[in-house]
Amino acid sequence: MLAVVEIAGGQFEVEKTKKLNVPLLKGNEGDLVEFSNILLVKDGETVEIGEPYLSGKVTAKILNTFKDKKVLVFHKKRRKGYRKLNGHREEYTNIEILDIQVN
């Protein structure tokens, strides 16, 4: 079974036992989190599309949290001598999908 789920403002394609990195979620390592915003479910040849969501839930386990590589943001205005360099590191949560239930 394959599902497209909305997690932290993004759409992710999930399957049972799949591991993926999503934007930072609240919770500690080993906590279970549930996502109820299911957009699409494909089971074999049958496809269900939500309008906007399907009823059901996807259960996942938080494996760990980490910071990604630094992203550098450079601003410059030509011929003015203005240069500015900023950077940031995005935080992500690594989760494993345990179960997909659709009513």
1-26 pLDDT, tens digit per residue, is 999 999 999 999 999 999 999 999 99
Phi-psi region of 80 (alpha: psi -120 to 50; beta: other; left: phi over 0): alpha
User: For 37-53, how does the pLDDT look when each residue is reduced to its tens digit (9 = 90+)?
Assistant: 999 999 999 999 999 99
Domain spans, the chain: 2-65+92-102
Whole-number average pLDDT of the chain = 96
Those residues with Cβ within 8 angstroms of residue 14's Cβ, 6 or more apart along the chain or in another chain: 2, 3, 4, 5, 20, 58, 60, 97, 100
> What is the C-alpha to C-alpha distance for residues 21 and 94, in angstroms, rounded to an integer?
5
How long is the chain? 103
Q: What is the pLDDT of residue 69?
A: 97
Over residues 19-37, mean pLDDT: 96
Q: What is the pLDDT of residue 100?
A: 96
